[in-house]
Amino acid sequence: MTGRFVEVVDRVHVLTEPVLDVNVTLVVGDGAALVVDTLSTAAQAADLAAAIRSITTAPCTVVNTHHHFDHCFGNAVLAADPPRPVYAHERAAAALRDPDRLRREAYAEVLAGWPELAPAVAGTALLAPTHPVGTEARLDVGGRRVLLRHPGPGHTDGDLVVHVPDADVLVAGDLVEQSGPPAFEDAYPLRWPEALTDVLRLTTPATVVIPGHGTPVDVAFVREQRRQLAELAGRIRAGHSDGVPPERIAADAPFGPRAALVAVHRGYAELGPATA
């Protein structure tokens, strides 16, 4: 059963799905609404739709922060009938046009960690975004200005953040993580710090930042996560240059050896063969 929405600032509500701690954000305007991310399965999305209706009956535009299953597999329930706009970065939109591959990858991931979700994930009908975004898109959500921005590769190559300036809220997707370490399986660890630098340009000292997973955080939390990511990127570059095995770099790196080892392998692959 999906959780319930909590209003974090004026007409901006956050629902945290309990199994994966993934966040859905609902921005309510006058006669219109915006829902950011759609959860993992059709059943979760149906519960999410009911939770949205408890807040507003206005038609919803959908945004996917990226293409991972826990953020977009509910698109069809929320936006297929009747058809509603679905925004995502153009690379995330391209990934969602290959539903068989995404379902296979998601099934393997949830089978290892959350086997109770696996059959539902494998059987979910996917809906690709209708409105691909390059660098930026600006929306009017019932009189509220909303900015969608791609800050560059970070958690994936197709992340979007959602900025609601009148509420001083920024929805960061998995570019910012609170309930666990950043996930590097599809990441660009050498460029992630730059992406967060771009994200931070949208903030003020009072901005509420909604991470992909966990509780809302402040700007100081994001700055510290950016510092840790920059430290990790520096270690990766130095280790690659010196021919240090990835396990040694990861052993005492930020975010712990398990997450860091994935980042080191990704970073080494991006840097290519070490020079003599």
Q: What is the pLDDT of residues 86-105, one digit of tens each?
A: 999 999 999 999 999 999 99
Percent of the chain at pLDDT > 90 equals 96
The CATH fold assigned to 5-218 is Metallo-beta-lactamase; Chain A (3.60.15)
Using alpha carbons, select from 8, 5, 109 the residue that is nearest to residue 50.
Answer: 5
The pLDDT, as a whole number, for residue 274 is: 74
The pLDDT, as a whole number, for residue 275 is: 60
Q: What is the CA radius of gyration of the chain?
A: 18
Q: Give the pLDDT band of residue 144 (cuts 50, 70, 90).
A: very high
Whole-model pTM: value is 0.96
Percent of the chain at pLDDT > 70 equals 99
Report CA 32 to chain centroid distance, whole Å. 23
Distance CA 173, CA 71 (A): 9
The structure tokens listed for 10 are 């004026």
Domain ranges of the chain: 5-218
Distance CA 56, CA 49 (A): 10
The pLDDT, as a whole number, for residue 69 is: 97
Q: What beta strand segments (E) does 29-183 contain?
A: 33-36, 60-63, 86-89, 131-133, 136-141, 144-149, 161-164, 169-173
